[in-house]
Structure 1
Amino acid sequence: MPIFTAPDGTTLACHLRGEGEPLVVLPGGPMRASAYLGNLGGLDAHRRLALLDLRGTGDSSVPKDPSTYRCDRLVDDVEALRVHLGLERMDLLAHSAGGSLALLYAARHPGRVARLALITATPWALGMPATAEDRRAAALLRRDEPWYAQAWPAYRDWLAGTGDYDPVFAPFFYGRWDETARAHDRAGDTQYNDEAAELFGADGAWDPPAARAALARLTAPVLVLAGELDGGPRPELARRCAEIVPDAEFAVQPGAGHYPWLDDPEWFTARVGQFLSARPADRRPS
């Protein structure tokens, strides 16, 4: 487990899995320890995953200044990891809230990104949040599933702001509510830094016009992958995100929720692996 130091002196950890060319991986949550990513459905058979524990999560230290949990300030930690790994340019994969961090990194350091894969990414950095209506529409796709009747009332109240988060509606975040999904959801109880999550999108974190302008000049290939059943982002929101960057391809994983590598590992690793290994002439939309 490589340990390195951020510019402000905070000690950060990175977990290496697999062999081959490095793929730097940014977790979501926001501010969830990278352990929940596992081996991304077996992607470590194709690439050496370098999974960053963001400050205050997993094996990384808590910073002296809590304001450094803000997403735009975490960009310096990603750059410190690139330097530590000795990479001139890096392939970067980001999940969920980590997508906004990856977008801000690419906007600030476009020459350091070789390829960028955004997996069910939340594009807050572009001023494109998933809305409650997005999540309601996605939830209705699940109405014939056996757990729906019990989960929907609590989920509806949470989306309306009249109820708290309730584990009963966790199935909405997974394409298949099986034992693998249940175990993954239970593990999350010990993986979040709630204080950091509250500060991740604090005032000043986002400047969508500036981010959009910078990303319009990004030359690196980008994959934006959505889950067919995901509510945040829904495929349409992910497609709009893909339109921001010049060299982007958009893919929807059938039957997948917010954690697509769990729902169909073979489909996920094949599609992401194809993107990461393709020459320009081989790349394709889907």
Structure 2
Amino acid sequence: MRLWATRIGAGVPVVLCHGGPGLWDMFGDLAELLRDSAALHRWDQRGCGRSVREGPYTWERTLADLESVRRHFGLERMVLLGHSWGAQLALRYTLDHPERVSGLVYVSGTGIDPAATWREPYRRNFRARMGGRMARWSELEGRARSAAEERELCVLQWSVEFAGNGMAYARRMAKPWFGVNFACNSALNAEDRRTWGTAELGERCRACAVPALIVDGARDIRPRWAVDSLAEALPDVSRVVLADAGHLPWMEKPAEFRTAVTEFLIRVSAGQ
């Protein structure tokens, strides 16, 4: 099994965990923002993007793959930066291996309560922001699609992830296009529903001493109060909410995002 991975920049070692599940690393803009202050390690998760499409698609395997990335690059300790579903991945690895993580940057996640607590507000916000694009999205979502239609569906869906100019940003996300691994998405989401939001997860977060930064876009369609559960549980956490930004805040508010993360990396480096 071969995983795609690359490294750019110099400074604090940071491993990036992309969202999904079933998507690929879309951190080109983010890596350019941070390359002067960090060594950015990017990778495509198992079955996704430039990595070989081969299971199993499980939490156990995905966490082991992240550990393989750390070992491949020879990192004794690292900062983990995870986005969306990748924020959950970064958090879980941190809870399992706090001695290997010097800091956690949790971007646009959904906290540690069960997904049922925020799903309905999310769906309402999705429909509202989709607006006139909803009819075409519903048509495509409800039937078999060609490869071109698959890309069109994703661009339409991703367009709601931004506070403004959504279609232009969504088209940027789709370049290059590698195709969504829906089998991976389905398997890992099903496991999430069985294992996320437990009392044990909250207890583990409260016992975690790793410094953490939570970064949100204020206009993410996932309700930001969902993240309160994590912010209240972690003992060493700061939180930055970027106005007029959605689910990918580094694309809409690059300067503010860079400042927040860079200041956290300086703090982490000073504490090592």
TM-score with structure 2 setting the length: 0.82
Partner of 1:210: 200
Aligned residue number for residue 231 of structure 1 = 221
Contact 1:227-1:254 at 8 Å conserved across structures: yes
RMSD of aligned Cα (Å): 2.9
CA distance, structure 2, for counterparts of residue 137 and residue 196 of structure 1: 26
Q: Residue type of the partner of 2:85?
A: A
Q: Which residue of 1 aligns with 2:255?
A: 266
Matches within 5 A, 1:179-218: 180-187=168-175, 189-203=177-191, 206-207=195-196, 208-218=198-208
Measured in 2, the distance between the counterparts of 1:265 and 1:50 equals 19
Relative distance call for 1:60 and 1:216 in structure 2 (3 A) is same
Q: Which structure shows the higher helix fraction? A: 2
SS in structure 1 of the partner of residue 63 of structure 2: helix
Paired position in structure 2 for 1:246: 235
* SS of residue in 2 equivalent to 1:278: helix
Greater Cα shift, 39-48 or 213-222: 39-48
How far apart are the structure 1 equivalents of 2:245 and 2:108?
Answer: 10
CA–CA separation in structure 1 for the residues paired with 2:136 and 2:103? 39
**Which residues of structure 1 form unaligned runs of 5+?**
1-9, 143-147
Q: What amino acid maps onto 1:55 in structure 2?
A: R
Q: Number of residue pairs matched? A: 257
Instruction: Give the corresponding residue for 1:24.
Output: 15
Moved beyond 4 Å, runs of 4+: 137-140, 152-155, 162-167, 279-282
Residues 154, 169 of structure 1: 8 Å contact kept: no
Measure, in 1, the Cα distance between the counterparts of 2:99 and 2:35. 25
Letter in 2 for 1:268: F
The Cα of 1:240 is off from its aligned counterpart by 2.5
CA-to-partner distance for each residue in 1:113-136, whole Å, 9 max, x for gaps? 11000110144x653454121342
Provide the residue aligned with 1:3 in structure 2: none
Distance in 1 (CA, whole Å) between partners of 2:165 and 2:176 is 15
Deviation track 1:134-162 (CA, whole Å, cap 9, x = no partner) reads: 3424775x6xxxxx64135677x79xxx9
Aligned CA distance change for structure 1 residues 100 and 151 (closer, same or farther; 3 Å): same
Closer, same or farther in 2 for the Cα pair 1:126/1:203, shift >3 Å? same
Matched, 1:60 2:42: no
Contact kept, 8 Å, 1:94 with 1:102, in 2: the verdict is yes
- Structure 2 residue runs of 5 or longer lacking an equivalent are 144-152
Counterparts of 1:74 and 1:22, CA distance in 2: 20
Percent of pairs identical after alignment?
A: 27
Q: Does 1:81 align with 2:81?
A: no
| Worse overlay, 89-98 or 50-59 | 50-59
Say if 1:151 and 1:169, in contact at 8 Å, map to a contact too: no
| Aligned with 2:81 (options 93, 96, 104) | 93
Q: 1:137 to 1:198 in 2, by over 3 A?
A: closer
Counterpart Cα distance in 2 of 1:86 and 1:23: 12
Report the counterpart of residue 100 of structure 2 in structure 1: 112
Q: Which residue of 2 aligns with 1:102?
A: 90
Measure the CA separation in 2 of the matches of 1:226 and 1:272: 12
Q: Is the 8 A contact 2:14 2:41 kept in 1?
A: yes
Say if 1:163 and 1:179 are closer, same or farther in 2 by CA, change over 3 A: closer
Q: 1:202 to 1:84 in 2, by over 3 A?
A: same
Structure-2 change in CA distance of 1:179 and 1:82 (3 Å): same
* Aligned counterpart, 2:148: none
- The worse-fitting range, judged by mean Cα deviation, of 188-197 and 245-254 is 188-197
